[in-house]
């Protein structure tokens, strides 16, 4: 019988990694299967004004192409199933399904790929400007309404289900139809049609001489997502970094992990969406290919009887859990029933001061909740009232949290967060509550710490000086995973036929020279205060190593006695011990238990039953 470990989480690293991979893969497939794919059209103004530099040598058009290229490469890595398209308007030539003049569809809505990135690279820089003029030309007699209509047709022609439709309009002309009221009216009408069909239209306005006035025309044109604020418009983009910051903030649909009710009492509830603000980044899964045809292959798992070799169907297997030297056998339906504790939701228990939440309570990344007005009318108003009061009184809400019907409840704290915007009025932090997962009593470990060695006031003051000299403002966005970045750059170089990959800078490496320059003689002064005059860390380490080489191999020290282990085996409670303790015990008794927790438990159980 297979061991019943599907619900009780193993502490073995190998099993954790497998579970994480399966969970991430299943979540990605579910996202696309049930909610559809994200789609994004880059609608780019190709008039002559976009190709004029303001003195720094970079034109608005060149900035736009670099920005689009960056989105393409990031989508290839993060979500290659999404659909992207590039459409120019204001060109001499035209290419679109409705044969509108001066509208050219460079790339239809399709998955991002290396060929598309290479095509965009042709129009970068001075050579790209000349090539664009020769290939497409410029014409100011365009209709923005027809360009929007062409984009709407691109969405309609897609056969797959789309969960999110967005158009990003790049231009540095704040009043394109100032002398033609008919075209201006048509553009407003088409923009209204987009709004009615759920297509979001964002304006990425670029720098122009005299400034970009959004109120002249585009305030009536753009329509934004429900969770974005029209009242706070970012400033015009004069630099690529600023443009990229705005595009990155809007390019991806904010997907909810789950939508559920927050129950304030038996008769009062509001609807919220749960979001994941932080998620560990992984290398993409390798795809298995047939060695001769390079076609993707599918993996199928089958179970066989270990004694007879006959094929087993799902109905032929059961789950079991060892308890008190007995195998407790359960049917599949019974194991599923054991997972269901309560209906999904957040149930308010009470409020506590924020000062009671400690850093060591952190056991997993937090989640974030935001009101869902579409499910329960009035949720936003009630949510904001609760948020304002919690911020005002500096309290957190304690809740019982059940994310889904088959997940166990968790004890969580809802920590309020106020909205923050930067100098360009771009949102840095959204308003809402962070869901902080609190530990149960079972999650805590009692560890015997060594006695504290008291430090003198002079030593403490000297260390304070060192810490003060090495302080810096930490931002998570400033540090990228160097292993992941180099991996992606290697893939990009292969896909785009580059001579060699660009080397990723490892920003996690300490800047030793700069640190030494800042510290000066403080480190030597601290050493003199703490260590003996003849103390040498390197020399002592070498002596310890030489001494250890000459000694015979020692058996590992076991933190738990033989009587305690025997008691755990008899009671069937070995599962309460951690994997490192079980491994040390197996090494001590020279048992081969493997790397999984259940295998270690089985080895110890068999040993003590025989002795």
- In the chain, % helix, strand, coil (3-state, to 5) comes to 40, 20, 40
Per-residue pLDDT, 72? 85
Better-predicted residue by pLDDT, 117 or 235: 117
Q: How far apart are the C-alpha atoms of 155 and 146, rounded to whole Å?
A: 14
Q: How far apart are the C-alpha atoms of 585 and 583, rounded to whole Å?
A: 5
Other CB atoms within 10 A of residue 99 CB: 10
Better-predicted residue by pLDDT, 299 or 336: 299
Per-residue pLDDT, 555? 53
Per-residue pLDDT, 430? 85
Better-predicted residue by pLDDT, 366 or 231: 366
Give the pairing of strands 427-429 and 311-312: unpaired
Listed range (37-51, 124-138, 181-195, 555-569) with the worst mean pLDDT: 555-569
pTM of the model: 0.61
Q: How far apart are the C-alpha atoms of 187 and 172, rounded to whole Å?
A: 17
Per-residue pLDDT, 73? 80
Helix, coil or strand: residue 16: helix
Q: Tell me the HSE value of 146 on the side-chain side, using a 13 A CA sphere.
A: 22
Residue closest to 147 by CA, chosen among 195, 189, 100, 80: 100
Answer yes or no: is pLDDT of 120 > 60: yes
Q: Write down the mean pLDDT value for the chain.
A: 80
Listed range (21-30, 100-109, 476-485) with the worst mean pLDDT: 21-30
Place of tokens 């088959």: 406
pLDDT tens digits along 325-336:
788 888 878 887
pLDDT tens digits along 504-531:
888 888 888 888 888 888 888 888 888 7
Answer yes or no: is pLDDT of 228 > 60: no
Strand partners, 322: 327
Per-residue pLDDT, 86? 93
Integer-rounded Cα radius of gyration of the chain: 31
Q: How far apart are the C-alpha atoms of 359 and 9, rounded to whole Å?
A: 24
Local confidence band at 24 (pLDDT 50, 70, 90 cut-offs): very low
Q: How far apart are the C-alpha atoms of 168 and 199, rounded to whole Å?
A: 11
Q: How far apart are the C-alpha atoms of 546 and 565, rounded to whole Å?
A: 35
Local confidence band at 89 (pLDDT 50, 70, 90 cut-offs): very high
Listed range (152-156, 289-293, 572-576) with the worst mean pLDDT: 572-576
Residue closest to 606 by CA, chosen among 577, 574, 569: 569
Answer yes or no: is pLDDT of 180 > 90: no
Q: How far apart are the C-alpha atoms of 285 and 136, rounded to whole Å?
A: 40
Asked if residue 608 lies in contact with residue 565, where contact means CB atoms within 8 angstroms, the answer is yes
H or E stretch including 320? strand 319-323
405 is catalytic: no
Q: Catalogue the E-assigned strands of 194-314.
A: 199-205, 258-263, 269-275, 303-304, 311-312
Tokens of 337: 């029933």
Residue closest to 356 by CA, chosen among 397, 325, 318: 397
DSSP state of 506: -
| Three-state secondary structure of 147-207 | HHHHHHHHHHHCCCCEEEEEEEEEECCCCCCCCCHHHHHHHHHHHHHHHHCCEEEEEEEEC
Listed range (25-39, 100-114, 332-346) with the worst mean pLDDT: 25-39
Asked if residue 62 lies in contact with residue 125, where contact means CB atoms within 8 angstroms, the answer is yes
Answer yes or no: is pLDDT of 256 > 50: yes
H or E stretch including 413? strand 410-417
Mean pLDDT of 79-99: 88
DSSP line for 428-479 = EE-SEEEEEEPPPGGG-----PPPP----HHHHHHHHHHHHHT-----GGG-
Better-predicted residue by pLDDT, 593 or 318: 318
Main-chain dihedrals φ then ψ at residue 205, nearest 5 degrees:
-80, 135
Q: In what order do the strands lie in the sheet with 37-45?
A: 103-110, 83-89, 37-45, 162-171, 199-205
| Three-state secondary structure of 174-190 | CCCCCCCHHHHHHHHHH
Q: How far apart are the C-alpha atoms of 219 and 203, rounded to whole Å?
A: 9
Per-residue pLDDT, 12? 38
Q: How far apart are the C-alpha atoms of 116 and 281, rounded to whole Å?
A: 25
Place of tokens 């204001």: 90
Mean pLDDT of 132-155: 90
Mean pLDDT of 436-456: 81
Helix, coil or strand: residue 311: strand
Residue closest to 71 by CA, chosen among 59, 60, 83: 83
Cα dihedral across residues 550, 556, 561, 563: positive or negative? negative
Better-predicted residue by pLDDT, 19 or 475: 475
Other CB atoms within 10 A of residue 539 CB: 10
Local confidence band at 254 (pLDDT 50, 70, 90 cut-offs): low
Highest-scoring range by mean pLDDT, 76-85, 181-190, 382-391:
382-391
Catalytic residue among 9, 24, 33, 37: 33
Mean pLDDT of 467-480: 83
**295 vs 107, 287, 292, 319, 499, CA distance in Å?**
26, 10, 8, 37, 27
Residue closest to 39 by CA, chosen among 215, 127, 163: 163
Local confidence band at 232 (pLDDT 50, 70, 90 cut-offs): very low
Better-predicted residue by pLDDT, 43 or 204: 43
Better-predicted residue by pLDDT, 357 or 534: 357
């Amino acid at each position: 019988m297979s061991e019943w470990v599907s619900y009780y989480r193993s502490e073995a690293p190998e099993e954790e990694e497998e579970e994480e991979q399966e969970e991430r893969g299943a979540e990605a497939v579910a996202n696309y299967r049930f909610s559809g794919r994200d789609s994004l059209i880059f609608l780019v103004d190709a008039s002559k004004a976009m190709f004029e530099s303001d003195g720094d040598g970079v034109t608005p058009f060149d900035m736009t192409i670099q920005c689009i290229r960056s989105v393409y490469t990031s989508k290839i890595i993060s979500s290659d199933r999404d659909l992207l398209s590039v459409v120019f308007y204001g060109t001499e030539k035209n290419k679109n399904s409705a044969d509108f003049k001066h509208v050219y569809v460079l790339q239809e809505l399709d998955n991002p790929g290396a060929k598309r990135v290479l095509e965009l690279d042709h129009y970068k820089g001075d050579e790209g400007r000349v090539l664009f003029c020769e290939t497409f030309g410029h014409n100011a007699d365009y209709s923005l309404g027809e360009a929007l209509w062409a984009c709407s047709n691109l969405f309609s022609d897609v056969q797959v289900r789309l969960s999110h439709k967005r158009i990003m309009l790049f231009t540095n002309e704040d009043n394109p139809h100032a002398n033609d009221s008919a075209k201006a009216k048509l553009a407003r009408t088409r923009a209204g049609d987009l709004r009615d069909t759920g297509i979001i239209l964002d304006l990425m306005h670029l720098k122009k001489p005299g400034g970009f006035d959004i109120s002249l025309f585009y305030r009536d044109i753009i329509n934004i997502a429900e969770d974005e604020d029209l009242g706070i418009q970012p400033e015009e983009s004069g630099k690529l970094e600023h443009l990229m910051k705005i595009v990155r903030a809007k390019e991806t649909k904010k997907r909810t992990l789950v939508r559920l009710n927050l129950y304030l009492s038996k008769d009062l509830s509001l609807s919220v969406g749960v979001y994941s603000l932080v998620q560990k980044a992984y290398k993409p899964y390798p795809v298995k290919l047939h060695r001769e045809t390079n076609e993707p292959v599918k993996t199928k798992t089958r179970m066989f009887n270990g004694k007879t070799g006959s094929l087993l169907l799902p109905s032929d297997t059961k789950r079991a859990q060892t308890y008190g030297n007995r195998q407790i056998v359960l049917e599949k339906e019974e194991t599923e029933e054991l997972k269901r504790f309560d209906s999904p939701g957040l149930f308010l228990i009470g409020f506590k001061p924020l000062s009671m939440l400690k850093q060591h309570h952190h056991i997993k990344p937090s989640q974030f909740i935001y009101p869902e007005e579409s499910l329960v009318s009035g949720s936003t108003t009630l949510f904001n009232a609760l948020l304002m009061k919690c911020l005002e009184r500096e309290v957190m809400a304690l809740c019982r949290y059940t994310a889904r019907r088959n997940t166990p409840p968790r004890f969580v704290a809802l920590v309020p967060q106020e909205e923050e915007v930067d100098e360009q009025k771009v949102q840095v932090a959204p308003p809402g509550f962070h869901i902080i997962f609190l530990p149960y009593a079972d999650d805590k470990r009692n560890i015997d710490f060594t006695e504290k060695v008291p430090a003198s006031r002079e030593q403490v003051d000297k260390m304070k000086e060192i810490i003060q000299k090495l302080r810096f403002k930490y931002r998570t966005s400033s540090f990228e995973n160097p292993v992941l970045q180099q991996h992606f750059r290697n893939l990009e170089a292969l896909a785009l036929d580059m001579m060699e990959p660009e080397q990723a800078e490892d920003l996690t490496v300490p800047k030793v020279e700069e640190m030494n320059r800042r510290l000066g003689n403080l480190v030597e002064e601290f050493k003199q205060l703490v260590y003996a005059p003849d103390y040498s860390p390197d020399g002592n380490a070498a002596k310890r190593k030489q001494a250890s080489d000459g000694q015979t191999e020692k058996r590992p020290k076991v933190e738990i006695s033989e009587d305690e282990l025997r008691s755990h085996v008899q009671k069937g409670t070995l599962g309460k011990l951690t994997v490192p303790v079980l491994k040390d015990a197996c090494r001590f008794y020279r048992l081969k238990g493997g790397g999984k927790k259940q295998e270690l438990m089985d080895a110890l159980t068999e040993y003590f039953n025989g002795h």
